A and B are shown apart, each in its own frame.
With several copies, the nearest count.
Chain A
Amino acid sequence: MTTLLCADPDEAVAGVRDGSTVLVGGFGMAGMPVALIDALIRQGATDLTVVSNNAGNGDTGLAALLAAGRVRKVVCSFPRQADSWVFDGLYRQGRVELELVPQGTLAERMRAAGAGIGAFYCPTGAGTPLAEGKETREIDGRSHVLEYPLRGDVALIGAYRADRMGNLVYRKTARNFGPVMATAATTVVAQVREVVDVGALDPEAVVTPGLYVDRVVEVGS
């Protein structure tokens, strides 16, 4: 349905419910939708499952959401970083659950959710502790792990430009998880540096078609 242009980040995250699974874009701070996460903290939804590559950096963005006690579980590939002290503390106190997923499998499970794939056999992690308890199958002489789609109720992503139909382009490696998460959630919210008129983006270079994007908010650079 038609993409909604929101006046501010608070309007963009309105209605997120307690217990939601929230996909949060970004790789480190590149592509991290900080304004949307700040708005989500104000909005108040709690008991969240957050899916993101990392588990927060420093004290802002995802780290602030964790510090506010809103996150029940983190699904990510790389929680341990030099500046991930908020997550570290909560995890060691047993106040947040962790599901660790190899980075490519994390991306592919969200892609499967967006692409209507019921499950897929993936060689990554076969024979390692991250495959424990999972169904496996030998295909072409190689062990594969059966992986299931990972869906969000909401996706919060950061992009570079949107047109008024919600078509998105990203900038350099800030693209990372945004285009995948945009396909995998019921409600997709994008913060962008700039909203441009319809027709201003090159149709050959649109990365996320507006079809995937429910709400857009311009936050400047």
Chain B
Amino acid sequence: MSTHALVAGVLAGPADLDAVPMTAPGPLDKHAMAALVARDIPAGSFVNLGIGQPTLVAEHLPADSGVVLHTENGMLNMGPAAVGDEVDPDLTNAGKIPVTELPGAAYFHHADSFAMMRGGHLDVCVLGAFQVSARGDLANWHTGAPDAIPAVGGAMDLATGARQVFVMMTLFAKDGTSKLVPACTYPLTGLACVSRLYTDHAVFDLGPDGAVLRETFGCSARALVERLGRG
């Protein structure tokens, strides 16, 4: 804590902002973010990668990491996306994308798969988000817009059940407002569940005391906090 910056309610705090390293010359693209997440997944972990951008993390796990991928539709030891003849309609990931099976795989039904998730047996899950609060609340299932059709899938189960929930997202919405917020305004997926937030501009640890800046990309911590303050 001493060398990092605490961003209580996102916006301010007893900061040692100058101690936060800038580790990339510019904002990260989604592949670089995925590589960062992959770096922080301990070897041998059991991991669920949410649909969309988090799926990219798999491409950055070292071959000898021993990381085992879980897909909530009922499989452990999922392999990469299927191509050509590998495509099998009976073998998909949670995003309904055809995937492959690695040696040592196991199949199970939905009640068993979600028991595994809810029971705390996954080490890490990586999710996308609409908003994340500084204390780790997550909003990623519903914009709350009156004409939106809500869909939750396994998001709440993952947010509730995984031992560590990582989120990867752009830090700012298209309108420039921060998606890391003092309190979520979108409908919640889970409370105080996200422990680490990976964004294109910075990585944060989240917890009861607020967001702690760990590293920034393409801007100083001081400049970033200023921008968050305006957001």
Contacts and interface: CB of A to CB of B under 8 A. Distances in A.
A108 B73 contact: no
Interface in B176-225: 187-191
Interface string B108-131: 111101111111111100000000
A74 B161 CA distance: 26
Contacts of B113: 104, 107
Interface in A168-188: 170-180, 183
B226 interface: no
Given A2-B66, A30-B90, A176-B74, A126 B120 contact: no
B188 to A, nearest CB: 5
B45 to A, nearest CB: 7
Contacts of A127: 188, 190-191
Contact of B96 (A28, A87, A179): A28
Contacts of B117: 104, 116
A165 interface: yes
Nearest to B109: A179
B75 A172 contact: yes
Contacts, number: 215
Given A91-B149, A102-B154, A111-B111, A209 B106 contact: yes
A102 B152 contact: yes
A165 B103 CA distance: 10
Contacts of B114: 103-105, 107-108, 115
Interface string B54-79: 00000000000010101111111100
B170 interface: no
Contacts of B91: 30, 172-174
Interface residues of B, number: 60
Interface string B123-156: 1000000000000000000100001011111111
A100 to B, nearest CB: 5
Which of B43, B70, B77, B111 gathers the greatest number of chain A CB atoms within 10 Å? B111
Contacts of B109: 107, 170, 175-180, 207
B152 A78 contact: yes
B189 A128 contact: yes
Given A124-B156, A167-B104, A207-B109, A104 B90 contact: no
A203 B106 contact: yes
A167 B115 contact: no
A173 B154 contact: no
Nearest to B189: A128
Which of B106, B151, B189 gathers the greatest number of chain A CB atoms within 10 Å? B106
B151 A78 contact: yes
18 contacts: A1-B46, A2-B43, A27-B110, A100-B150, A100-B151, A101-B152, A103-B114, A105-B156, A114-B119, A116-B115, A123-B118, A128-B156, A170-B109, A174-B89, A175-B107, A183-B116, A206-B105, A209-B76
Interface of B: 42-46, 66, 68, 70-77, 88-92, 96, 101, 103-111, 113-123, 142, 147, 149-157, 160-161, 187-191
Interface of A: 1-2, 27-31, 53, 77-81, 87-88, 91-92, 98, 100-108, 110-111, 113-117, 122-130, 160, 163-165, 167, 170-180, 183, 198-199, 201, 203-204, 206-207, 209-212
